[in-house]
Chains A and B, each alone.
Chain A
């Protein structure tokens, strides 16, 4: 495309199909403890 460049991202709609296993890290167990930060949690299935 000439006007738009699209970054490779995980399709959220697709993630409904096999998501929700709950094996990924709880957000507060990373570093935050005060802010809820989930965008950087890695999907266990994507590892």
Chain B
């Protein structure tokens, strides 16, 4: 399976199953589908393929704008295509399905926890999945004892995995900062005895961020996620205080200080775009103009009835925005003023193995969310949905059926992923989105998929431009 597309002046060919990426001239771009058809027919002899391509091309081009190429040149292009095919870099078969199912059948371990350290917040963000910080009326802070049991549970269930990840999430984790600090200290105390390495992440809205917190975070947190949506009017509209006033002016200087203190590495300013700012590339560029070098701005996930939710009719505009952003990023990079955009980051050389790429995000198996009172859910998006309550940090996993349901989540379990060129980059998408839109963790969220495909195209184009 190949995916051909044009972006920003480049003709790009992704060979889906080998992961190879080729930048081709117009001639190859045009004849590749013919050659692919011939391959599917089992015709691999170079001479026969050349002849057939010449035959088909002359007739097929009748209705299209012709490519000016002599037969000799076409033959040469076919030879190059066949050479790559022989090397396994074009038209590679999909040989992974059984491998992935075997991989997923393995005994699972838990290696990552999202600790809901505070079900309380000092902001009232409109799109908050915790109902503007109200948490269905059940506000709570995680006690040190519950957090300690969560870390013990993680270590006990992590098998021989060395790297363990813990995200201090909320609500707003800084509203329970003392417990965060004590849990980091406790986690570190477990490392030598159990041969583990904790990687802590702190996600914060910045309201309570100060020098003392930053100093501790810079020493202990592998990653900082700083929530900001972009332009002041956009941010303040969706991320106000409970009294309605905006939070932008308070947090921007704190986030700038945090980014500089981490030497512009190992953090993200992380925003959400909604139907209110379909021109979100302006928000990304605004964040870049504020000096941030690690930026992530993502589409909101909201029920269709919400007035700010992304709809199918918004897709053309959003795709245009991604293209615009990619082109501008390239321009800035060439001027020596580049920045990273999380969704355009792609590691073609050192990226993950195929098992990781096809087996899903790990929610419900290796990644779990823990509520302030110690309940376990498949991930932070499922917290509060009692159907997905899996157990607790005291007794462990009590609902193995839920775990087994998530264990089956992979791209081959999702019909629409089978024909999708992006399946090696999104791993089948977000199970929570699929459930929220279709009531099935093994479904796909079509709007999300369309956007993911566009992002992958842009990300690969940016790599092609580096050649």
Whether A and B are associated in the same complex: the answer reads yes
Q: Which residue of A lies closest to B29 (CB)?
A: A3
A5/B467 contact (C-beta < 8 A), A23-B163, A31-B225 known: yes
A19 B351 Cβ-Cβ under 8 A: no
Taking the complex as formed, is B244 at the interface, i.e. its CB lies under 8 A from any CB of chain A?
no
Q: Using Cβ atoms and an 8 Å threshold, which residues of chain B touch A26? A: 111-112, 165, 361-362, 366-367
A12 B17 Cβ-Cβ under 8 A: yes
0/1 string, A1-34, CB within 8 A of B gives 1: 1111111111111011011101111111111111
B22 A40 Cβ-Cβ under 8 A: no
**B348 in complex: contacting residue of A7, A13, A30, CB < 8 Å:** A7
A27/B362 contact (C-beta < 8 A), A4-B24, A7-B467, A35-B426 known: yes
17 A-B residue pairs with Cβ-Cβ distance under 8 Å, sorted by A, are A3-B77, A7-B20, A9-B348, A12-B18, A12-B96, A16-B99, A22-B161, A23-B163, A25-B163, A28-B112, A29-B114, A35-B448, A36-B360, A38-B361, A38-B426, A39-B456, A44-B163
Taking the complex as formed, is B352 at the interface, i.e. its CB lies under 8 A from any CB of chain A?
yes
A34/B301 contact (C-beta < 8 A), A22-B109, A29-B112 known: yes
A43 B353 Cβ-Cβ under 8 A: yes
- Total interface residues on A, using CB and 8 Å? 43
Interface of B is mostly: mixed
- Total interface residues on B, using CB and 8 Å? 86
**Least Cβ–Cβ distance between A14 and chain B, in angstroms:** 9
A23 B161 Cβ-Cβ under 8 A: yes
Q: Using Cβ atoms and an 8 Å threshold, which residues of chain A touch B167? A: 29
A7 B161 Cβ-Cβ under 8 A: no
Q: Which residue of B lies closest to A34 (CB)?
A: B301
8 A Cβ contacts from B344-364 to A = 345-357, 360-363
Question: How many contacting A-B pairs (Cβ < 8 A)?
Answer: 210
**A40 in complex: contacting residue of B18, B24, B342, CB < 8 Å:** B342
**Least Cβ–Cβ distance between B275 and chain A, in angstroms:** 15
**Least Cβ–Cβ distance between A38 and chain B, in angstroms:** 4
C-alpha spacing A24/B343, complex, angstroms: 18
C-alpha spacing A14/B19, complex, angstroms: 11
A5 B355 Cβ-Cβ under 8 A: no
Nearest first, the 7 closest Cβ-Cβ pairs linking A and B are A19-B353, A39-B425, A46-B350, A20-B355, A15-B353, A40-B345, A31-B268
B356 A7 Cβ-Cβ under 8 A: no
0/1 string, B289-306, CB within 8 A of A gives 1: 000000010111100000
A13-B92, A31-B225, A46-B349 given. 19 additional CB < 8 A pairs? A5-B23, A6-B23, A7-B20, A7-B348, A9-B18, A10-B19, A15-B353, A19-B356, A24-B163, A24-B356, A26-B112, A27-B361, A29-B367, A31-B296, A35-B426, A39-B352, A39-B426, A40-B347, A43-B352
Taking the complex as formed, is B1 at the interface, i.e. its CB lies under 8 A from any CB of chain A?
no
Q: Using Cβ atoms and an 8 Å threshold, which residues of chain B touch A4? A: 22-25, 28, 80-81, 84
B379 A28 Cβ-Cβ under 8 A: yes
**Least Cβ–Cβ distance between B333 and chain A, in angstroms:** 17
A16 B301 Cβ-Cβ under 8 A: no
Q: Using Cβ atoms and an 8 Å threshold, which residues of chain B touch A5? A: 22-24, 467
**B346 in complex: contacting residue of A31, A35, A40, CB < 8 Å:** A40
B80 A2 Cβ-Cβ under 8 A: yes
Q: Which residue of A lies closest to B359 (CB)?
A: A20
B350 A37 Cβ-Cβ under 8 A: no
**Least Cβ–Cβ distance between B199 and chain A, in angstroms:** 8
B347 A42 Cβ-Cβ under 8 A: yes
A12/B19 contact (C-beta < 8 A), A36-B427, A37-B425 known: yes
Taking the complex as formed, is B141 at the interface, i.e. its CB lies under 8 A from any CB of chain A?
no
**Least Cβ–Cβ distance between A1 and chain B, in angstroms:** 5
A38 B357 Cβ-Cβ under 8 A: yes
C-alpha spacing A25/B76, complex, angstroms: 44
Q: Using Cβ atoms and an 8 Å threshold, which residues of chain B touch A42? A: 347, 350-352
B363 A28 Cβ-Cβ under 8 A: yes
**Least Cβ–Cβ distance between A7 and chain B, in angstroms:** 4
